[in-house]
Amino acid sequence: MAALFHSRGDSGMVCAMLNRVRIVLVETSHPGNIGAAARAMKNMGLSRLYLVQPRQFPHAEATARASGADDLLAAATVCASLPEALAGCGLVVGASARLRHLKLPQWDPRQCAGQVLQEARRMDVAIVFGREHSGLSNEEVALCHYLMHIPSNPDYSSLNIAAAVQVMAYELRMASAVPVADGKDEATEPPVPAEEMERFYAHLRETLVAIGFLDPDNPRVMMRRLRRLFNRARPDRVEMNILRGILTAAQKPRPRS
């Protein structure tokens, strides 16, 4: 049989997959939560921490709560925006504690971990955690391919962000020990990264306005639905070139018949 498998002892493959997983924290208010998240990550073998406009960082409380994961804090990438933090990622999963008007496909942490590690065998993947009190905005959710929801007591569903990171990091660690067929999906072209999708969405909006299909004064609902459609499709580079070519052709002026 051509399929090979990895196990707990195959640390090289496990590390390679985990090293492609980014934990992204958006506008974290309390520096202690950043430190606690870094500690949770290091416990489970994750190392890539991205911070989007943290309120206070670096900070002594973050270092104290990291409890030895200072190296993760020192190597953390601080970004001015979420799209910047997602650059180069072919899969983006947003952690969400609430239902959305425009629903995305949703995973629990165990489902999410299995899918993330499968994708991380060929490209960078991001798991995005929102603000402590308000989570991710609708605009930020629109950048995600899937949502991840941690089931909890419906009468007391409030979960600290570092605890949420710990749950997800644990599931990733456990999923990394599950045998996976070597070569699965590697014959297919990987999807284009997040920044290329954003360029496509800007081109799509521009084209739809130009041809009179999209109201430029009220584009949000339509563009969110189109984002949902194309995020679900996750086009590869060849498919993206076709889509961009169609948009370019649609923008060209037509001669009068």
Local confidence band at 254 (pLDDT 50, 70, 90 cut-offs) = confident
Q: CA-CA distance, 242 to 237, in Å (whole number)?
A: 9
What's the average model confidence in pLDDT over 196-209? 97
Q: What average pLDDT does range 221-225 have in this prediction?
A: 91
246: in domain:
yes
For residue range 113-148, what is the model confidence (pLDDT) as tens digits?
Answer: 999 999 999 999 999 999 999 999 989 999 999 999
Selected residue with higher pLDDT from 256 and 224: 224
Domain span including residue 78: 11-175
CATH code for the domain of 218: 1.10.8.590
101/159 same-domain check: yes
Q: What percent of the chain has pLDDT above 90?
A: 77
pLDDT at residue 109 tops 70: yes
53 in Cβ contact with 27 (< 8 Å): yes
Has residue 212 been placed in a domain? yes
Pair of tokens at residue 124: 């960078």
Q: What is the pLDDT of residues 34-66, one digit of tens each?
A: 999 999 999 999 999 999 999 999 999 999 999
**CA angle, corner 217, sides to 243 and 196, nearest 5?**
30
- The confidence score (pLDDT) of residue 6 equals 42
Could you tell me which residues come within 8 angstroms of residue 143 by beta carbon, excluding any fewer than 6 positions away?
82, 83, 86, 92, 94, 128, 194, 198
Q: What is the pLDDT of residue 102?
A: 56
Mean pLDDT, the chain, as a whole number? Answer: 90
Q: What is the pLDDT of residue 257?
A: 61
Peptide bond connecting 193 to the previous residue in cis, omega within 30 degrees of 0: no
Average pLDDT of the residues in 175-202: 82
d(CA 175, CA 186): 19
Based on the fold, state whether residues 170 and 201 are members of the same structural domain.
no
Distance separating alpha carbons of residues 62 and 49, to the nearest angstrom: 13
> Greatest CA span in the chain, whole angstroms?
73
Mean pLDDT, rounded, for 216-233? 91
Query: Which pTM was predicted?
Result: 0.89
The reply to whether 171 and 206 lie within a common domain is: no
Over residues 85-107, the pLDDT tens digits come to 999 999 999 998 775 555 788 99
- Indicate the number of domains in the chain: 2
CATH number at residue 164: 3.40.1280.10
